[in-house]
Amino acid sequence: MCEAAGLSQPRACRLAGLSLSTCRYSAQRPAADAQLSLRITELALERRRFGYRRIWQLLRREGLHVNHKRVYRIYHLNGLSVKRRRRRKGLATERLPLLRPDAPNLTWSMDFVMDALASGRRMKCLTCVDDFTKECLTITTAFGITGVQVTRILDSIALFRGYPATIRTDQGPEFTCRALDQWAFEHGVELRLI
């Protein structure tokens, strides 16, 4: 409009009813966004099933106090939105070799065993084994066990044994839930999904 009518920018903005700042202002994101963007991308590739809220939570754990709306904006600008899950057995993480522990109480393995009663009702058994001694630490039976209940069971084992360095599990919903992830972070336990 300025070149066609030969008007100055302020005059053209007044005639159009616009503020001059809308014409001249160009948003400049600070260089901190570049570093934050890199860290968000690293976390999203490391934990593919995490959305922006859980990435934001991990950043807060690392000491980066960032607004969740900023994380959302960068997360979506980088095209990192979580894809719809297809129901098939697949790997959410890279496969790591199974290492033998050097001492007791370093690595525990957990899994669920399903069974049915004579009435047809299904029940779950949570088994936890020390990988060095092959000692069964617990077999907890219930009709349904949630991630919160798994953390309570692990706390009851830790009263007598202490906390392990690593817990090896499959990728069941009870083991990939937020409650177990938070518990592992608070107690310094590494969750290794196989």
pLDDT in tens, 127-173: 999 999 999 999 999 998 888 999 999 999 999 889 999 999 888 88
Question: pLDDT tens across 9-33, in order?
Answer: 888 888 888 887 777 666 666 666 8
* Closest alpha carbon to 129 in 113, 146, 152: 113
Q: What is the CB neighbour count within 10 angstroms for residue 112?
A: 16
Task: Please report, as a single letter, which amino acid is at residue 91.
Answer: L
131 within 8 A of 109, measured Cβ to Cβ:
yes
Task: Please tell me whether residue 124 adopts helix, strand or coil conformation.
Answer: strand
Q: Say which range, 77-86, 103-112, 183-192, has the weakest mean pLDDT.
A: 77-86
pLDDT of residue 87: 61
Question: Which residues, 6+ apart, have CB-to-CB distance to 160 below 8 Å?
Answer: none
d(CA 171, CA 111): 10
Q: How far is CA 162 from CA 109, 125, 189, 192, in A?
A: 15, 22, 11, 18
Domain ranges within the chain, ordered by starting residue: 1-30, 32-88, 107-193
Q: Check if CATH label 3.30.420.10 holds for domain 107-193.
A: yes
